[in-house]
Amino acid sequence: MISDTKRLIMYTRREPGGQMCFGGIGFSDPRGGFGGFGWIEKDAPETVPSRKGVKWCCKWSGRIALTEDRVPHLHGPAPDLIVGLEYNGRGVAMSHVMGRELARRALGTSAEDLPFPVTKIPSYKFRTPQVLGAGLAMAVLRRRDQMEWKSDA
């Protein structure tokens, strides 16, 4: 598993069959689709040079769960129910960590002894404007990443 330090993160992991799975932050477009694949396809061979020229077999997208504090959370939405949510675009790595903690809880570890507090699911203030502005914000962040990485070279 690797992840970069750019503003628009990209991560990758090797699958059991030897394939590479790349991911990153995309955006919803006004027509209901998703975008953001182009920059991953461009940056992936720079991150893993042996992937240069490799044909991409599939793409998928979806929504990510964001928190106001940008920290993952464990929530107790109902008695005797605990969930790990809101990985803020880093679910490939964080879901493994949260899965371990959820398993510890299922095996009897008290909620107080988990490394994340178990809280109620809060409402997300100003979510709609953030979703609507995400595409523009990502274009700006992408440009800032490009300018910094060029100046470091």
Strand 27-28, strand 20-24: pairing: unpaired
Please say whether the beta carbons of 87 and 69 come within 8 A. Answer: no
pTM beyond 0.75: the answer is no
What is the per-residue pLDDT for 102? 94
Which residue, among 132, 130, 135, 142, has the nearest Cα to 27 in the 3D structure? 135
Residues ≥6 apart with Cβ < 8 Å to 32:
none
51-67 average pLDDT score: 80
- 3-class SS of residue 49: helix
Tens digits of residue pLDDT in 22-45: 887 777 666 777 777 887 888 888
Structure tokens at 31: 């027509």
CA pair distance 6, 145, nearest whole angstrom? 6
